[in-house]
Amino acid sequence: MSIPVDDIAVPDRVRALAGPARLEPAWRNELGGLTFRTDDGRYIKWGPLDLETSMADEAERLAWAVRWARVPEVIAHGSDGAHEWMVTRALPGRSAVAPRWLADPATAVRAVGEGLRALHEALPVAECPWSWQVPDRVSNAARRGIRVPDALQAAPPVDRLVVCHGDACCPNTLVDDAGRWAGHVDFGALGVADRWADIAVAAMSTEWNYGPGWEDALVEAYGVAPDRERMAYYRDLWNAT
């Protein structure tokens, strides 16, 4: 995922959903998906259908999670068979990889780690209807034609089950003007799993976004000591799927 730096064409569907509101590009991802911010307090997410997750899945998960966590409220979602879209109410704050926070990685990394821990503490495992545990991820990969190596099909013993974000990369934490986490976005894969499935990905993404040397700072902000075995396993599983 990246912040757009050039002018991009607005899809007709997005323009229709925006109505009279002005649009500002917010994100562009490697699949061709686009997210726009409107000047009336909404975000419009649009992109091609994807076998890994869908916006319909995300809308369902957000409707569940919003009761306990700072996540976007879904206004509408739909599909035309080739593309899908979702409209949500904007949350306060900007992505942890907005230019301000790229220039202040210590603050951003702390916010991501603390925010991830708060999300894990807030969402109730017993009430979550979705799983993101290893067998489910392996099955999802298989449906997309990906065979996970045998060495990754048996996970380390579970440390603690939580409701995982499912894509805890740094861009998906929102940070307020004071440098504190303000919310989370992008929940297409939310489900119950070992907390290290999220922690490992969040820590790994610090290097992509801020450069080397920030992994342990994120884990410290989360409030645990680094677990090298679980971090390595879940990092490899992420890359394999």
Binding residues: 172, 186
Dist CA 191 CA 163 (whole Å): 5
Instruction: Please report which helix (H) or strand (E) contains residue 126, including its range.
Output: none
Dist CA 58 CA 72 (whole Å): 11
Convert 107-119 to b/e letters by CB count within 10 Å (16 or more is b).
bbbbbbbbbbbeb
For residue 194, list its beta bridge partners.
161
Contact residues for 25 (Cβ-Cβ < 8 A; gap 6+): 4, 7, 8, 34, 35, 36, 37
* DSSP assigned state of 78: E
Catalytic residue among 167, 194, 198, 227: 167
Active site residue 167: yes
Q: In this structure, what token pair is assigned to residue 50? A: 């994807």
Q: In this structure, what token pair is assigned to residue 228? A: 């090298």
Half-sphere exposure of 153 (CA within 13 A, CB side): 10
Dist CA 83 CA 15 (whole Å): 14
Place of tokens 């976004």: 209
- Summarize the annotated binding site for Mg(2+) as residue ranges: 172, 186
Q: In this structure, what token pair is assigned to residue 44? A: 């419009």
Show which residues are catalytic: 167
